Every structure is written in C-alpha cells, then in structure tokens.
Structure 1
Amino acid sequence: MSNGPSAVLSSDEIAAIARDAVAEGQADRKQAAWQKIQPLRTAQRHQPEAARALVWIVDQRSLARDEAADLLSEIADAHDDAVDILPALGQCLEAVRDIDDLNASPPEHPIFQTMVEKLGRLARLHEGKPEQEQILRGLATSARMMARQNDAIAEDSLRKVVELNPQKSSPHYNLGLFYKTRGRFAEGVTANRAAAMLSQEVVDSFEWNLGICATGAGDAETALDVWKRMGQKIGPGRFGLPEGGYPACKVRLAERPLAERTADSDDPGEEETVWIERLSPCHGIIRSVLYGDLGVDYGDVILMDGAPITHHTYGEEQIPVFPHLATLLRQNYQFFDFAGTQETARQLADISGELDGDAVIYSHSEGFKIMCANCWRNPDIDHADHEQMEKHVVVGRIASPPDIAPARLLHLIDTAIEKRGTCQLYAPDLCAAAGQAARERIDRRRFALLKNN
C-alpha cells in the first residue's frame, strides 16, 4: 500500500470504523470487516490512534487470521518502538493463531518472531519503568505462540510479571497456563493454586487448569477437590486418579504433543483422531486401535486439554474433539494386524465381547471384494481360468492386554468364530506369537490376498 500522505481521521471517525468492523466480524462477515478497516489501514502509519484501533479489531477476532497477521506486520513496521502499541500487538497474537489446536507446529508468519525480537529489545530498554509489565506481557504471549521455539523467553517474561505483581491472580494463572502446555504439571499446580487463592471469586479457567495440571502431576487429591468444587460427580478411580461417569468423546492424538517435544523437534508428527473412554473432565483411555504408529495406542491413558479443537456430528449429537496434552500411562498392549471375511456387518468386531479383559478386534475397513476362488484355495497352481467369488472383507487390528498370552487370545477367537460358522479371521503375526508356524504360513497367504486384492 502507499506510504504517501493521507487524510487524518478524527477520533470519532476512528471509533466508528472500529465499531463497524467489529460488528461485521462478529456477524462472521470478515471480508466486509476487512473492507471497512481500509481507511484505518491507510492512516495507521501516521496516526497511532488508528494503529491502536486496528490492534483492538484484530484482538476481537474480526478479521481472517492471515489478513490479520499481515495487518499486524504493517503496524509493527510502522511503529518500531511504540510502547503504547507494540505490547498490545504482542498480546493479540493469540487472535491470529488457532490456540485451541494446541499441538500445531510453530506459525510460519514472520510477525511472531518479529514481535519476540521487538518486544525483547523494548523489555531491556524499559526495565524498571512503569511500562515494563505490559511489554513483558506482550513478549510472553509472542514467545508462547511460537510453540517450543522461545520457551525460555516466555517463561522468563511470565516470571517477571509475577514478581512485579505477586498479589494479582492473573500473572500466576498465565504462568500456570504456560507450565500446563509444556508438561510441567507440578509447577502448573503451584501457579494455578496461587491464582485461585488470590482471586476474589471462583474463576472457571483457574479451576480447569488447576484440575488438569493436578491430573497430569498425579495429584489425585487436588484434582478430586477441584472437580467436586465444580459440581462434578466423581470419586477415586483407576490409575490412582479421579473417575466419574462421562460420555465418550474424541481426542486428536499427536505423535509429539506440545508438552512432550523440544525446540529441535517442534511439530506434532503424525496425528489421528480417536475415541476415548472419558474418565474425568481431562483424561481417559484410548478406545480406538490406531492406523499408524504414534507411540500411543489403544488402552493407553492420555491427558487432554479442556477446550475442544472442533466437534464431529453424529446425527443430532455433537461430539467434542479435544487436543492431546500428554500421555499419562502406556499400557504396552499387544497388536496384531488381521484380515477376515464375514457375512454381516460387525460380525468379526462383535467377537470382542467374548475375549478376555478389554481385548478387541477393531475394524479399520469393511467392504466387498471380487477374488479368484482358485487362487484363494491354492496360489501355487498356475490357473488357466480364474473362478470369481465375492467376499465381505474386513481389515483391521487386534489389541490385547499384555497379560493375555497370544495362544489364549487365538484360542478365544477361534472358539468364537467356530460358534458363528460364517466368518473367518487371518492374523499371521498372532499365529507366529502363539507358536503355530504352519498356520502362520496359511494365514499370511490369505491375509495378503484379502488385504491387497
């Protein structure tokens, strides 16, 4: 855009444009809001009041994130050392990231690193001055938004704000929020407990983060106290943690959750959305058998954050999808790939109810396939003609607790299949683990035919 002279806007004009833009944004007309702010965008280079109005508009989530980030870059460029603009700009960087997507990679837009550098310089220049606190708040937010890239800067800034205001609750809460997302749960308990004690009233966000940190730290007593204060029907439960009756929900698992990674490996890796058996407001047992190897799987106990990333619709029901905060317990289940045939839907999956413990036959795909009957019976014969047949094929994985012997698991599956008489399951790795080498060879051939046909 032009850097040349432009009309000076009055305070009333600036306020009116800002109100209109926010109204458009709240009505989810973000492109209209973008058009509304163009006079402010032109004026902001020579009118700090216009720049401050734009920062407020961004903070109200009135613009699309990409456009908002570009706009903040323009403001930062125009007001290099403005202590009345840059700290607020740093704090509103939360508005140009999806903060509910906890495990996202560091943002690519340069405004985040730019603000870390600008506010870091301002913090040094204004140390001990009245404006130091606001600069540190903006610096902490800017650094925290960059995943694990600037943790030392974020923590140092948050700690200094606490030192400047030890009797205010919000600095302790912000420090506790940082500790929670970095997997430092015991420190998060301390910070969030201080925030709750200093607050004049019960604040839900303080309570939630205290409960989550206490669960992550294995502090069942504190977690139970929090959930009961919040009116949850919950008591002592499995894994030494609180447990109540909660509907199942979903979690987006990450190979590398934010709380478990470093600056050198700062991305989530593979991700997969799964069902969990929810035991408390913030933890549960994975009840889907994963497609990929994320280092966490069926039966493991995970901690999730309190704000859902999105919702999945099942009929009229909205199921929340929460971010994976950390893995509390890996139970080292056994996993065996399988392929099988069945006559009716879920015939193989329903065998799970006849297995020991919470072992499960988990279907990843079901469908009809056309195959050669002669190849099915004996693939080593050179068939001049292929005899076609149709099979209802199921492909998936078997999960079993580590204390169930493979031979026992295979026996239970065989017994259940024999009772049904109309389905078959081929799990060559399970046969091998059970010591049945001859059967493994047959199962491996038929497994390959079903899976790869």
Structure 2
Amino acid sequence: MVRAFDGRLVRKAQDAWDDEDWPRAARLLEELLARDPDGEQAPARWYDAALAYKFMRDWPRAYELGKQAAARAPRGRQDPAFWNLGIAATVQGDWATARDAWAGYGIDLPPGDGEIEENLGMTCVRLDPEGEVEIVWALRICPTRARVLSVPFNTARRYGEIVVHDGVPNGERVVDGHRFPVFDELLCWKASDLPTLSVTVSTPDTAGIDELVVLFDSRGFGAEPSSSLQFLCKCCSDGSVEQTRSVRAGGQTVWLAAPEGEARRLLDDWAGDAGYERSWANLHPVS
C-alpha cells in the first residue's frame, strides 16, 4: 500500500518532470514504483520512468523499465509504451522484443526472426537535432531505423549510415503533393564506410546534373549537387515545407559518396557519354 507521505514524493517527481530534470524525475518515479509497482498509477509511472531514461539516452534502463510499462499496456491500440520499448529494444539489439513491441503497438511486419530490415518507404530524418542540424532523405527499414540516402553536407556524417529516429514526426516535407514526415535522429546505429568526396563539375544543362545523380544512385552510391542545399530557420524546418529540388547548370561542386576509384570511373563515363561539353576536376575526399 502506498503511504500517505507518498503524495509529497509524487509532487517532487512531477516538479522534476516539469523542469525536465530527467535524472531526478527517473529516480523519484522509480522510488514510487518500488513502493507501489502495480497500483492504479503504476502503468503511467512505468511509462514515464522509461521515457525519462530515453530522454537521457540511457538505453539499458529505458529498455528494462520499458518492458514493465509495455506489460501493463493494452496491446493493439497504439499505446506509446510499446513504441518506446520498440526503440529501446532495437538499440539493445533484442529483435524478439522489438518485433513483439511493434506488434503490441499495432504494426504488422512480415514474419521473421532476427534483425528487421524491410522497405517501409522514404522519409526525412533530422540528423544531429541538438547540434549541426541537417535534414536528409532516408529509407525506413523498420519502424524506428532508416538508411540515409542523401550525401550529408556535414562531413562528420555519411551516405548509407543507419540511424535510429524518434517515433513522433517533427515537421514534414511535401514533394509533388506527397507528404513525408521528418523524424528527429536519436543516434547513429550503424556507420557507413563510404567516404564523402567533393568534385567540381561543369555541364551546360540541368539534365547533366540529373544524369550524374542517377548514375551514382544506380551503382549504390550517392551524389548531391551543392545547389540543392536549402537553409531554413528552425520554425520553418519544424513545419510543413514544399520541397523542390534546386538544380542548376554550369559549374558547381557536387558531393559524392563512393570509393575514390569508382567515383573517377563514373565521372569519366558521365563526361565521356555526352554529345556536348561536360567536365569534372578537383576530386578529393572531405571525410
């Protein structure tokens, strides 16, 4: 039975939560749960405690408390306890628990064992949301992971890396009437070994740039013209943005994701196949 003085503990936990003092909030919530693990308020407290550890990126504790929260949540009703457990279990590499969490939330994935790697469609991910923010295109391979398919302009990041992202969209991008959510990155789950290169290209029309992008993409690599870079304030970035690919002709820098030898061969093919003047120069690694 919860003692009467627990009311003061509840208020302290609530104050810590309101102040976003996640370590203190988690500690106080766990103290409450130790006294009353299955009471009327326990399901919400298990969820909040797990969420506080998620905010701290303490994934082992988010995972352990998340299992307790999900065990007390209704299945198949999109209860967020299952989503947070799915994230934590994915980070921990517990695929059986992750699969069960997605099913508990109400997501139908193809049956299977082990790591989840599906094609769940394109999305946008905000890399490094608390630092050098950049929004990239990515392919969702499970409900909380996506493979980056843009060549990031941030040289600390790479095409092909797999990131874990949050479950609640923070903005959207609209392309030809189709809406794509923007998810905030939680962590880089798997690094990419593809280097980022910079090259100066010249072509008399925008079709040349488009063909270069398609050529690298067809080989499993990436190409991103510098003219596609768009700067937005935070307010606009977090909102709904009509996305148009800005590609121009003439000379410009293009960022490539490919081994240097492969990049040289593909650039030669691109320049040599044209019936008009195309050229490239100054290929060099930037990461």
Three-state SS of the structure 2 residue aligned to 1:245 is: coil
Correspondence for 1:176: 50
Q: Structure 1's 164 and 133: CA in aligned 2 closer, same or farther, altered over 3 A? A: farther
After the TM superposition, which residues 3-82 of structure 1 pair with which residues of structure 2 at under 5 Å, given as runs? none
**Contact kept? 1:359, 1:399, Cα under 8 Å:** yes
CA distance in 2, matches of 1:152, 1:137: 10
Correspondence for 2:31: 160
CA distance in 2, matches of 1:270, 1:280: 25
CA distances 1:124-163 after superposition (whole Å, capped 9, x unpaired) = xxx97041242133133134x2xxxx44323312221222
Correspondence for 1:303: 164
CA distances 1:84-120 after superposition (whole Å, capped 9, x unpaired) = xxxxxxxxxxxxxxxxxxxxxxxxxxxxxxxxxxxxx
After the TM superposition, which residues 76-91 of structure 1 pair with which residues of structure 2 at under 5 Å, given as runs? none
CA distance in 1, matches of 2:123, 2:180: 6
CA distance in 2, matches of 1:236, 1:427: 48
Question: Structure 1 residue 336: deviation in Å?
Answer: 1.2
Correspondence for 2:267: 413
**Match for 1:152: what amino acid?**
P
**Contact kept? 1:236, 1:243, Cα under 8 Å:** no
Correspondence for 1:283: 145
TM-score using structure 1 length: 0.52
Identity value in percent: 21
Question: Structure 1 residue 342: deviation in Å?
Answer: 2.0
The match for 2:224 among 362, 367, 374 is: 362
CA distances 1:405-448 after superposition (whole Å, capped 9, x unpaired) = x223312321232112435343424399xxxxxxxxxxxxxxxx
**Contact kept? 2:173, 2:182, Cα under 8 Å:** yes
Correspondence for 1:211: 86
Q: Structure 1's 328 and 200: CA in aligned 2 closer, same or farther, altered over 3 A? A: closer
The match for 1:424 among 278, 282, 287 is: 278
Asked if 1:139 is matched to 2:15, the reply is yes
Asked if 1:335 is matched to 2:206, the reply is no
Three-state SS of the structure 2 residue aligned to 1:243 is: coil
CA distance in 1, matches of 2:177, 2:139: 21
Asked if 1:397 is matched to 2:259, the reply is no
Alignment: residue pair count? 260
CA distance in 2, matches of 1:408, 1:417: 14
CA distance in 2, matches of 1:142, 1:177: 14
Three-state SS of the structure 1 residue aligned to 2:10 is: helix
**Contact kept? 2:14, 2:25, Cα under 8 Å:** no
CA distance in 2, matches of 1:164, 1:423: 76
Question: Structure 1 residue 364: deviation in Å?
Answer: 2.4
Question: Structure 1 residue 187: deviation in Å?
Answer: 2.2
Q: Structure 1's 235 and 199: CA in aligned 2 closer, same or farther, altered over 3 A? A: closer
**Contact kept? 1:196, 1:202, Cα under 8 Å:** no
Correspondence for 2:99: 224
Q: Structure 1's 223 and 425: CA in aligned 2 closer, same or farther, altered over 3 A? A: farther
**Match for 2:97: what amino acid?**
T
CA distance in 2, matches of 1:340, 1:277: 28
**Match for 2:143: what amino acid?**
P
The match for 1:198 among 38, 58, 72 is: 72
Bigger relative contact order, structure 1 or 2 (CA pairs below 8 A, ≥6 apart) = 2
Which is richer in helix? 1
**Contact kept? 1:173, 1:191, Cα under 8 Å:** yes
**Match for 1:422: what amino acid?**
Y
**Contact kept? 2:150, 2:159, Cα under 8 Å:** yes
CA distance in 1, matches of 2:285, 2:85: 47
List alignment gaps of at least 5 residues for structure 2: 229-248
Correspondence for 2:115: 241
* Larger mean Cα displacement after TM superposition, 297-306 or 225-234: 225-234
Question: Structure 1 residue 315: deviation in Å?
Answer: 3.5
CA distance in 2, matches of 1:250, 1:175: 29
**Match for 2:37: what amino acid?**
P
CA distance in 1, matches of 2:147, 2:188: 10
Question: Structure 1 residue 287: deviation in Å?
Answer: 1.2
TM-score using structure 2 length: 0.79
Question: Structure 1 residue 201: deviation in Å?
Answer: 5.4
Question: Structure 1 residue 393: deviation in Å?
Answer: 3.0
CA distances 1:342-396 after superposition (whole Å, capped 9, x unpaired) = 2332423433444474212221217xxxxxxxxxxxxxxxxxxxxxxxx623432
**Contact kept? 1:155, 1:175, Cα under 8 Å:** yes
**Contact kept? 1:349, 1:363, Cα under 8 Å:** no
Q: Structure 1's 424 and 241: CA in aligned 2 closer, same or farther, altered over 3 A? A: farther
**Contact kept? 2:204, 2:278, Cα under 8 Å:** no
Question: Structure 1 residue 208: deviation in Å?
Answer: 0.8
CA distance in 2, matches of 1:228, 1:245: 17
**Match for 1:332: what amino acid?**
D
List alignment gaps of at least 5 residues for structure 1: 1-126, 258-267, 367-390, 433-453
